[in-house]
Amino acid sequence: MAAFFAGTHGVWLIIAIIVGIIVGLIALVVCLGSLVLLIASLVLLVGFRFERFVGSRYLRRESCSRAVRIGSLVGAGVTLADVLVMLAARGHNRTLETVAVVIVVGALLATILLVLLRFLSVFTTVSTVGVMLGVASLIVVLSVTSGFQRVFEEKVQSVNAHLLVTSYGLERDVDEAEREARKVRAELVGFPGLVRTTRFSFTAGEVMIGKIGANLKGVDLADGLPELRRALSAGSVDDLGKLATCAGTAAPGEPVGRLILGADLARKVHASVGDCIQVLVPFSGGIESTPSAYLFRVVGLAAFGFQEYDARLGFIPLEDARRLGNARQSIFGLELRFSDPMLALRMEEEVENRLGPDRRIIDWKTLNKNLFTALAMQKIIISLLLVLIIVVAAFNILASLMLVVLSKVREVAILAAMGSRRGSLLGVFLVSGSIVGFVGTGLGILYGLALCGLAVLYGYPLDPKVYLIARLPVEVSGLEILCVALATQVISLWATLYPAWRASRQQVVDGLKYV
């Protein structure tokens, strides 16, 4: 029986390898064919005047009505007027601003449609607009997802360093943790790209601030805390290093801790700068023990703009973290900040090699792996779904060019009778499809960038409890736009190939009988 399953497994393995090779060869042929088509279309558009003239002539409109000309001018005027209204209402009348943005989006689309109808046939215009909408949708989605990724990266790096160095397990002995930190600093002297090393601590489990579960991060006051200073919305970071008192509430001789709360957390526990609050450490003496209570004075409020941090995080000096560490095990370690966050990811392995296997290295992406993985998967899946819009537009190109081939049977036959070769006839329709692809892609990029600009100006609000940030972020990437443009043009060219081949194979006699 084992031999049977082993044999079956071997057969399936061979089949999987064969299928993989076939799929790989097909993908290679498609990629090479796409490259050849793209180069051929560029050569035809630049150098072959006959093919370019005839191909563009088949797409042009014979005549344009007065209504279309007037409509395009009116659309442009309405778009410009609504942009001015939107800018004037910005920050003063949100309702008027919203209405203006919606009208701008519709008016701009209508203007583009009417301008295309002035120069192109109806079928060509429909195909071009389909390509344009697909490209614009992809650019907007990619820009928004890239914006989310950038904002989350910035928020994560504002609280956590690029690399965290800790020992395996949890440490109660703060002195030992400090000795380890000095060792790590000595071993990383002169490390390329390393800008700053800072001691930190983090509660291994949640503490209770009022009735809200939270985490406390111990910070090294000698570092200056530039990231925390930038996020401070009230109070002073320097007060973390000053003695604090709470009149009539602390036991004799009991030190009072200093605490900076996240802005949303402070709102939930009804605390403001100068208030004294208790921090309870559950299970500090066992499951059935009474929680240890520590008195802290709120010396500041921090607003990072990231719900996860603003609602669940507080900052205390390492001196106070030492006291909490005696009641609840804490993680102590060293934060490494580099000149570039991406450099930290590349240098992680070298840091591990230098520090040895006794220390654990965690980079800023691994620390939030689920968040960044979800963003990447969302970006890929949504992009693949929106590519279907471009595929549908490609079928429109195929259908419109087939109609051109069928309606231009006589003209194609005359060109062939006058000596045009099949390659030249194929080039004519390849140029036609290329023009639709290029025009649609160019307009799609412009329309997509316009929508991104409107989104930035309008500042579309989001629910921080759902999206973790308050406004829709937009990050336009030139590389992503280039990839979208190339992919769209390739899809358009593949849709052009069959009508072009059909026209080049047409018999002269079949067309001349209609003359």
Mean local confidence (pLDDT), 87-97 = 85
Residues 261 and 311: their CA atoms lie apart, in Å, by: 9
- Round the average pLDDT of the chain to a whole number and report it: 79
In three-state secondary structure terms, 287 is: coil
Strand-pair category, 313-317 with 212-219: parallel
Which pLDDT score, from 0 to 100, does residue 179 have?
A: 73
Report, as an integer, the average pLDDT of 184-197. Answer: 81
Section 160-177 average pLDDT: 68
Instruction: Report which DSSP code applies to 241.
Output: G
The residues facing 335 across adjacent strands are 164, 198
Name the pTM for this structure: 0.76
| Average pLDDT of span 444-472 | 84
What pLDDT sits at residue 109?
92
Name 51's Cβ contacts closer than 8 Å, sequence gap at least 6.
44, 424, 427, 428, 430, 431
What is the per-residue pLDDT for 2? 47
Cα–Cα distance between 471 and 477 in angstroms, integer? 19
d(CA 350, CA 252): 51
Q: Residue 471 carries which DSSP code?
A: B
113-119: long-range pairs with CB below 8 Å, 24+: 114/68, 114/71, 114/72, 114/75, 115/72, 116/439, 116/443, 117/61, 117/64, 117/68, 117/72, 118/61, 118/64, 118/68, 118/69, 118/72, 119/60, 119/61, 119/64
pLDDT in tens, 326-343: 555 677 788 888 888 888
| CB of 187 closer than 8 Å to CB of 207 | no
Which pLDDT score, from 0 to 100, does residue 94 have? 84
Chain centroid offset of residue 168 CA: 33
Alpha-carbon gap, residue 387 to 138, rounded angstroms:
7
The CA–CA distances, whole Å, from 488 to 32, 129, 495 equal 16, 13, 11
CA–CA dist 394, 388 (Å, integer): 9
Q: What single DSSP character describes residue 361?
A: E
Which ranges constitute the DSSP H helices of 338-467? 341-355, 364-367, 369-407, 409-417, 422-458, 464-467
pLDDT at 1 over 50: no
- HSE at residue 448, side-chain half, CA atoms within 13 A, is 30
Question: Number of helices and strands (H, E) in the chain?
Answer: 18, 11
Q: Which of 51-55, 114-118, 376-380 has the lowest mean pLDDT?
A: 51-55
Q: Does pLDDT of 134 surpass 90?
A: no
Which amino acid makes up residue 398?
Answer: L
Residue 48's Cα: distance from chain center in Å? 41
pLDDT at residue 462 in the model? 81
- Assign 48 to helix, strand or coil: coil
| pLDDT score of 427 | 75
The H or E element that residue 166 is part of is strand 163-167
Rounded average pLDDT over 166-193: 70
In angstroms, the CA 481 to CA 469 distance is 25
Is pLDDT larger for residue 429 or for residue 512? 429
Query: For 199, phi and psi rounded to 5 degrees?
Result: -75, 150
User: Could you give the CA distance from residue 104 to residue 109 in angstroms, rounded to a whole number?
Assistant: 8
- Rounded to 10 degrees, the C-alpha dihedral 423/426/432/437 comes to -100
DSSP code of residue 238: G
> What is the predicted pLDDT for the residue at 175?
65
